[in-house]
Structure 1
Amino acid sequence: MSSKSRPSSAAMLINAIPMILLITLSGLTIVAGWMPDVRPDLQTKQDKVLAHFIGNSTDYFKILDHNDEFVLVGAKDVIYNVSLNGLKEIARLEWHSTDADRELCALKGKHEWDCHNYLRVYALRPNGEVLLCGTNSYKPRCRHYTPVEVSSEEAGSAGHAHAMRYEVSRDVEAQGLCPYSPAHNSTYAFADGHLYSATVADFSGGDPLIYRENLRTEQYDLKQLNQPDFVGAIERNGYVLFFFRELSMEVMNFGKAVYSRVARVCKNDRGGPYSHGKSWTSFLKARLNCSVPGEFPFYFDEIQAISPIVESGSKSLIYAVFTTSVNAIPGSAVCAFNVDDILAAFDGEFKSQKDSQSHWLPVEREQVPKPRPGQCVEDSRTLTSIAVNFIKNHPLMEEAVPAVHGRPLLTKVNLHHRLTAIAVHPQVKSLSGAYYDVIYSGTDDGKVTKFINILSTHPNSTVDRLKTVVISEMQVLPLGTPIRELVISTSKNSLVVVSDGSLVSVPLHHCSHIVDCLGCLSLQDPICAWDLQTHECKNLATSQHKFGTKTYLQSLNSTKKAAASQCPHIPEMHPVRRQ
């Protein structure tokens, strides 16, 4: 998620005027390539709030872990365990900076609210030990907590039949593991007992790195990391993937530009030989291409958020939010990437620049050492210095990772808000038996947009088609309040919307908002169907009836006229929506 401030609407409009004229004059080519925003079938000014959990605006809430029953929320001087059943606090663990650390933070010129311990990293080890890291007043530290079972008397007095408390077993410096600032765009993954961090290693934020136990990216090497903003990390098939945006080196000769990247390291990387012992031997990165195709593609270059891997039929997908830069046309998009395409990009050609005045070009095959550098090997310490130096100097791949469908699933042009967060309800089964990934995207203005690709097919199909339907748009948070994260609980049928200082739970679906057949079918939500017996628009997931085409109606990929023909013959009327 981005921590950049948003420019005024007036300034953005002035900057957009030349491009608006260009689009107008360019005619059908651009208009056909990038159609206007798809209007939602349902708009609600303020959705029904199921529950809320309130902190302070300076708490910098961050979801550290979650399942279908609870979320762990990192905040100022505390981590909360919050039940998704009503967003009630189950437990908390407090960890404050010492007075000495807070005083030193203030002496270095930081604001009072910066001089606290914002908890940013959480990991649960197989033995039950908890790793917790915080900013600690710009002096990051990690603690290892050991669980201790409390007595039945203590558990009873605490209101729990069975409870644990945690005792600090170790307290260590966290340089390279945790950010110094709560506002810094950092990320991490915990895999096979190891913490992989993407953050900064200095007070000023000028030393970005990807780090794991004595291994790091090269310090101050702009070819590897150039002012990155990290948005997510995912473990997959022996690799850890990092998603971020950074200043692009390959277009520096033509001016500054930010590109979105995915980087890969091998989990079994043990560093290189001799002087390379603390360097990755497998660090590679590639551009992510989220663009509207055409003779002159329109790029959404700044990645803001990613989903976990979604098993979508035969594909493993990662959905991601992208935006244009702050001084460009205010646009946002959601693109999907196949994990296989991401991994395949790292087997392609390398990209290099002969000298500072040259263009970046593919490295010729005969110039690539053999065996191919950057691969996962049994013991990377046995690699030659030639192979390690090649990867150090050629971390960038020639080919960008293409988006599934070759274009965004959703594009939005809006002077007033941009997309900031994403969550996916995977493989929702419709009345016909087809499966759909239902996608929720949040904005920096408190809205949530829900949409699907209506042409996605049964899991066994390999057909790749795209037609986006925007089901609803909800104003969940007050206007001007950025949504930082989204969390789905299928068991509670709820979407948790996270801001800097609050959690808000709203329904995943809005079937009951519709009170007539045509309105229910026009919603095109795979979870909603019209009940012919009770004459209600019902949520198929929570309905107690055995559903079928004789009892329920659903029309996901039909015109409004075709949908109307399925409904019982009643006088034509406009859909009625309950707000």
Structure 2
Amino acid sequence: EPHFVQVLPYGPYIYFFFREVAVELSTLGKVLVARVGRVCRNDRGGSPRVLERRWTSFLKLRLQCSVPGDTVFYFDVLEAVTPPQTLHGRPAVLALFSTQPNRQGQGDEGTIPGSAVCAFYLADVERSFEGPFAEPRGATWTPVPEDRVPQPRYPPPHTWVLQGAADTVSPRRLCRRPGCCAGMGPATDFVTSGEFPDETLVFAKEHPLLHGAVGPAGGRPLFTRTGTRLTQLAADTGAGPRGDQTVLFLGAEDGRVLKVLAATRRPETTQHPRGTPAPGDTRGAGDSGDSRDTMTLLLEEINLYDPGRCRAPRGSGVPSRVLGLELHLPGQELLVAFAGCLVRLPLSRCQRHGTCRRSCLAARDPYCVWLPPEGCVPFSEDLPSGFQQDVEGSLGIGGTCQGECLTGGPAGVRHPGPGASPTVPVPVLVGCVLGAFALGALGAGLVATCCHRPAVP
């Protein structure tokens, strides 16, 4: 049975995202694959002879998320799909995939657990539904030749009266293929889906699967993780002062939430127009800015599940499994659902960087900015000018202050942090010990020389 993950009305269609056992891969056993299907919004079913009270426009094809290479690695099991997002100015959805579950009897020696996030432009999805139909040929599935695909035409001719003369005119507008919507585009002359010819309806009934697959934007996943099975996904594609950063929030089976920066353009200074770079900030050695267009950075990994405070009812499965993620942007928080409780997580935890400028900028968190003299604070539209941020890492700042914090004073002036104890470098300490030993030996020699008296014969 198919497992439906998301239903998405978009344009004249309703899209279904689900996973099911692949009939085209039956020779390999029960292999789960991700699918995207669609039906027309105005689909009222077929004629009394074929597909009565059943969809006439339902088509489906594979949704593919894989890592390219000499050996392609597939993430086939669809776990979650976001609502439509704006990615690079284009409508898209982001989807979470995992590897095949361990088959019965394999135990821990089955598939290595892993997950990936792929983005799909909705225009690419819609275009893929124009691909060839698929049908079985022996043990394999092959494309259906176009000359075997029926092209429905409006059945009865119309009689038009032109200048007093009766002329018979057949509009015969082509509906390019089964699965198109009645009353729209090439099928304008079909008022309802029940008017399609029986030949078209029979073909649609026997060929719901299309050949090929929808590939991810950029040709590869935005993020991959091995050793962990992720279960839920939420995405903010308008993060940061400019609203041009994408942050992924991923829930895992063990109760953790991963916060991931998925940057998708070449690194460059992300200084806000109102912000100014601090003195001494330069590009790090070897950082030419010619990295790949797609970069991913794990910002945080937070363990939210507390078995003492979040008790799940019996029979609810894995109690630590994240069952849902919901972004609440007005409140700048993420709602995390478990079987026994609901946890509110702030999108930014800038206070953990305190007044350490280096740590704040090196974190590359789109939700945090450095604002002297307050320190590392969450970004908001009402902040004064002069804040700094380095999401792409183009300033080459890294590391932490290691017990020392930088304030908003002159550049290069360091102030001991709270609770910091004074320390002495090891070379200086060794030099002092050797010097003290040498001075002690010299003093002892002088005293012995001055106090020495010759023996009396």
Q: TM (normalized to structure 1)?
A: 0.54
Question: Structure 1 residue 564: deviation in Å?
Answer: 7.9
Instruction: Write the distance in 2 (CA, Å) between the matches of 1:469 and 1:525.
Output: 10
Q: 1:472 aligns with which of 278, 292, 300?
A: 300
The equivalent residue for 1:376 is 181
Q: Say if 1:254 and 1:511 are closer, same or farther in 2 by CA, change over 3 A.
A: same
Amino acid in the other structure paired with 1:526: P
Q: 8 Å contact 2:134–2:210 — kept in the other structure?
A: yes
Question: Structure 1 residue 358: deviation in Å?
Answer: 3.3
Aligned runs of 1:141-180 on 2, under 5 Å? none
Q: 1:246 aligns with which of 20, 42, 47?
A: 20
**Structure 1 vs Structure 2: percent identity of aligned residues?**
33
The equivalent residue for 2:393 is 558
Q: 8 Å contact 1:427–1:435 — kept in the other structure?
A: yes
The equivalent residue for 2:376 is 537
Secondary structure of the 1:397 match is strand
The equivalent residue for 2:353 is 514
The equivalent residue for 2:30 is 256
Amino acid in the other structure paired with 2:26: M
The equivalent residue for 1:440 is 249
Q: 8 Å contact 2:326–2:334 — kept in the other structure?
A: yes
Secondary structure of the 2:248 match is strand
Secondary structure of the 2:327 match is strand
The equivalent residue for 1:425 is 236
The equivalent residue for 1:350 is 133
Question: Structure 1 residue 501: deviation in Å?
Answer: 2.3
Question: Structure 1 residue 538: deviation in Å?
Answer: 1.1
Secondary structure of the 1:518 match is helix
Question: Structure 1 residue 233: deviation in Å?
Answer: 0.7
Aligned runs of 1:103-502 on 2, under 5 Å? 227-275=1-49, 276-327=51-102, 328-354=111-137, 357-370=138-151, 371=175, 372-378=177-183, 379-414=192-227, 417-430=228-241, 433=242, 435-456=244-265, 465-478=293-306, 481-502=320-341
Which is greater in Rg? Answer: 2
Question: Structure 1 residue 306: deviation in Å?
Answer: 1.0
Indicate whether 1:525 and 2:354 are aligned: no
Structure 1, residues 317-371: CA drift from partner, whole Å, max 9, x if none? Answer: 11111111122111111111111111111111111113xx331011111111113
Question: Structure 1 residue 533: deviation in Å?
Answer: 3.0
Question: Structure 1 residue 560: deviation in Å?
Answer: 7.2
Structure 1, residues 178-226: CA drift from partner, whole Å, max 9, x if none? Answer: xxxxxxxxxxxxxxxxxxxxxxxxxxxxxxxxxxxxxxxxxxxxxxxxx
Instruction: Write the distance in 2 (CA, Å) between the matches of 1:270 and 1:465.
Output: 45
Instruction: Write the distance in 2 (CA, Å) between the matches of 1:406 and 1:570.
Output: 47
Q: Structure 2: 5+ residue runs without aligned partners?
A: 103-110, 152-174, 184-191, 271-291, 308-318, 401-405, 420-457
Q: Structure 1: 5+ residue runs without aligned partners?
A: 1-226, 459-463
Cα RMSD over matched residues? 2.4
Q: 8 Å contact 2:114–2:224 — kept in the other structure?
A: yes
Instruction: Write the distance in 2 (CA, Å) between the matches of 1:470 and 1:305.
Output: 19
Amino acid in the other structure paired with 2:210: M
Work out which structure has the larger RCO, using CA pairs closer than 8 Å and 6 or more positions apart in sequence: 1
Instruction: Write the distance in 1 (CA, Å) between the matches of 2:84 and 2:387.
Output: 32
Secondary structure of the 1:277 match is coil
Question: Structure 1 residue 571: deviation in Å?
Answer: 5.4
Instruction: Write the distance in 2 (CA, Å) between the matches of 1:523 and 1:572.
Output: 21
Residues paired across the two proteins, number? 332
The equivalent residue for 2:159 is none
Q: 8 Å contact 2:359–2:399 — kept in the other structure?
A: no
Instruction: Write the distance in 1 (CA, Å) between the matches of 2:232 and 2:338.
Output: 11
Secondary structure of the 1:322 match is strand
Q: Say if 1:344 and 1:572 are closer, same or farther in 2 by CA, change over 3 A.
A: farther
Instruction: Write the distance in 2 (CA, Å) between the matches of 1:229 and 1:240.
Output: 17
Q: TM (normalized to structure 2)?
A: 0.68
Structure 1, residues 40-83: CA drift from partner, whole Å, max 9, x if none? Answer: xxxxxxxxxxxxxxxxxxxxxxxxxxxxxxxxxxxxxxxxxxxx
Q: Say if 1:572 and 1:446 are closer, same or farther in 2 by CA, change over 3 A.
A: farther
Structure 1, residues 506-551: CA drift from partner, whole Å, max 9, x if none? Answer: 11111121121111111111121111232x111112x64223xxx1
The equivalent residue for 2:412 is 569
Question: Structure 1 residue 559: deviation in Å?
Answer: 5.7
Q: Say if 1:318 and 1:256 are closer, same or farther in 2 by CA, change over 3 A.
A: same
Structure 1, residues 236-262: CA drift from partner, whole Å, max 9, x if none? Answer: 001111111110011112322110001
Amino acid in the other structure paired with 1:407: R
